[in-house]
Amino acid sequence: MLTYKEMRKRMELSPEHVKLTNFTESFYQIFCDAWREKNYRAVFETDFYKKDGFSYCVFLELFDESLPKWRLTFSRRVYGYPMDIARRYIREDTEEAAKARGQELLSLYEANYVDVIRVAS
């Protein structure tokens, strides 16, 4: 995950010419905490979210691009042979987080195994 200064620099260099008046270090910390917990209520109360909607959307895109990309391959045994059911790409900051997300999705795909591989972005 990028630091506040790295993210601010990316936003300054973005071709969309975003406003950074309300993009503060405290907002970035609130967002990172909310992202880890997958609970964004606190983000919705920030000035950056409320007042700079377009800039917030650009930020979300840049934040997502900055995270490593993982391929989750869901499989189960059919007649004794492993069979891939589905593949899904996600972005998480660590392999452990990607594995945890994969475990959450196992029942959705009716699979009994998930393989997590980091892929090039």
How many angstroms separate the first and last alpha carbons of the chain? 14
* CA of residue 7 relative to chain centroid, distance: 14
Tokens of 88: 């899904």
Angle at which helix 4-13 crosses helix 53-66, to 10 degrees, equals 120
| Phi, psi for residue 76 in degrees, rounded to 5 | -150, 165
Considering only CA atoms, which of 58, 75, 83 is closest in space to residue 8? 58
Q: pTM higher than 0.85 for the full model? A: no
Task: Please state the domain extents for the chain.
Answer: 4-66, 69-119
Neighbours of 58 (CB within 10 A): 20
Predicted confidence (pLDDT) per residue in 34-81, tens digit: 999 999 999 999 999 999 999 999 999 999 999 999 999 999 998 989
In tens, the pLDDT along 100-114 reads 999 999 999 999 999
